[in-house]
C-alpha cells in the first residue's frame, strides 16, 4: 500500500476528515464494538500505521465522532420544545418525551454514548481526553440552557441533574434494548418472556419523566422548609 504524506495543514485536515467520515459511515452498518482499525484503514486506503499518524487510536477517532454526534443532536433539539404552555408537570412530561424520541432516532449517538466510559475514554492520550471533556462540557451547557428555557422551574441544578440522568440512562438502556439473536429467539418463543424485552424509548421517557417530576416536587418542598406546627 503506497502512502502519500499530507504536506500542508489543509491536506492533513482533509485526511483527518476522511478518516472521520469513513468511520461515521461504518457506524451506520456495524456497532462500535465491532468497528476495527484494520477495516477502517482498509476502507480509507491507508495502512493502519498511517491512520495512527492522525489519531492516537481507534478510541480517539470514535471519541471525536461522539463529540460531533452530541453537538448535532443538541442543535437538532433547538426549536423542538413548544412555548411554555401548561403546568410545569405537563411541560416536564413533554420534555421527557422529546428527549426520548430524539435519542431513539440517533442509534449511532446512543451506541457511542453506551461505549463512552467503558471503552472510548481508554487507550487515549491526556490531550485527547482533555479535548473531549471540554467539548462535552460545552455541549452539556448548551443542552442545559435548552432545558431551562422550556422548564425554568427546575433551576440550574435541577436542569443539570435531569440532563445527567438522561445521558446515564442512554448508557444503560441502549445496550439492554439491543438483544442478541439468541435472546430474540427466546422472546419470540414465549409471550411471557417477550414482556421482559426492554423498550428503549419507553424506559427513557418514563425515567426522565419521573426524574423531572421528583425534581419539581423537591423545588416546591425544599428540605430546609420549616415543619408545619
Per-residue pLDDT tens over the stretch 125-139: 999 999 999 999 999
Asked whether the predicted pLDDT for residue 222 surpasses 90, the reply is no
What average pLDDT is seen over the chain? 91
What pLDDT does 7 receive? 64
95, 14 contact by CB (below 8 A): no
Q: What is the pLDDT of residue 1?
A: 43
Is domain 57-220 annotated with CATH 1.10.357.10? Answer: yes
Instruction: Tell me the per-residue pLDDT of 73-126, one tens digit each, with 9 for 90 and over.
Output: 999 998 887 777 789 999 999 999 999 999 999 999 999 999 999 999 999 999
pLDDT at 161 over 50: yes
What is the secondary structure of the chain as a DSSP string? -------SHHHHHHHHHHHHHHHHHHHTTS-GGG--HHHHHHHHTS-HHHHTTTSSSHHHHHHHHHHHHHHHHHHHHTTTSPPS-S-HHHHHHHHHHHHHHHHHT-HHHHHHHHHIIIIITSS--HHHHHHHHHHHHHHHHHHHHHHHHH-GGGHHHHHHHHHHHHHHHHHHHHHHTS--HHHHHHHHH-HHHHTTS--HHHHHHHHHHHHHHHHHHHHHS-TTSPPP-
Judge whether 8-54 and 57-220 match in fold.
Answer: no
Digit-coded pLDDT (tens) for 184-217: 999 999 999 999 999 999 999 999 999 999 999 9
CA angle 136–17–19, rounded 5-degree value: 100
Burial 139-166 (b: 16+ CB within 10 A, else e): bbeebbebbbebbebbeeebbbbbbebb
- State yes or no: pLDDT of 5 exceeds 80: no
pLDDT class of 6 with cuts at 50, 70, 90: low
10 pLDDT band, cuts 50/70/90, is confident
Per-domain boundaries in the chain: 8-54, 57-220
pTM for the predicted model, two decimal places = 0.88
Residue listed under C-alpha cell 465491532: 34
Q: Which residue has the higher pLDDT, 123 or 11?
A: 123
Say if residue 227's pLDDT is above 60: no
Q: Which CATH number does the domain 8-54 belong to among 1.20.120, 1.10.340, 2.40.50, 1.10.10?
A: 1.10.10
| Predicted local distance difference test score (pLDDT) of residue 210 | 97
pLDDT tens digit sequence for 27-64: 999 999 999 999 999 999 989 999 999 999 999 999 99
Amino acid at each position: 500500500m503506497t502512502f502519500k504524506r499530507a504536506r500542508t495543514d489543509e491536506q492533513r485536515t482533509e485526511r483527518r476528515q476522511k478518516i472521520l467520515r469513513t468511520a461515521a459511515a461504518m457506524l451506520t452498518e456495524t456497532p462500535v464494538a465491532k468497528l476495527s482499525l484494520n477495516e477502517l484503514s482498509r476502507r480509507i486506503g491507508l495502512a493502519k500505521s498511517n491512520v495512527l499518524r492522525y489519531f492516537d487510536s481507534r478510541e480517539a477517532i470514535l471519541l471525536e465522532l461522539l463529540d460531533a454526534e452530541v453537538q448535532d443532536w443538541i442543535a437538532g433539539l433547538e426549536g423542538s420544545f413548544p412555548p411554555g404552555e401548561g403546568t410545569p408537570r405537563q411541560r416536564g412530561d413533554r420534555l421527557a418525551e422529546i428527549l426520548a424520541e430524539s435519542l431513539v432516532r440517533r442509534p449511532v449517538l446512543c451506541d457511542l454514548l453506551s461505549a463512552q466510559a467503558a471503552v472510548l475514554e481508554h487507550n487515549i492520550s491526556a490531550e485527547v481526553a482533555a479535548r473531549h471533556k471540554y467539548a462535552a462540557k460545552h455541549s452539556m451547557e448548551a443542552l442545559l440552557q435548552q432545558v431551562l428555557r422550556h422548564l425554568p422551574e427546575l433551576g440550574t441544578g435541577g436542569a443539570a441533574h435531569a440532563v445527567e440522568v438522561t445521558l446515564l440512562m442512554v448508557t444503560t438502556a441502549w445496550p439492554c434494548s439491543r438483544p442478541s439473536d439468541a435472546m430474540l429467539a427466546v422472546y419470540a418463543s414465549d409471550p411471557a418472556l417477550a414482556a421482559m424485552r426492554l423498550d428503549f424509548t419507553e424506559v427513557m421517557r418514563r425515567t426522565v419523566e419521573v426524574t423531572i417530576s421528583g425534581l419539581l416536587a423537591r423545588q416546591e418542598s425544599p428540605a430546609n422548609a420549616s415543619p408545619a406546627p
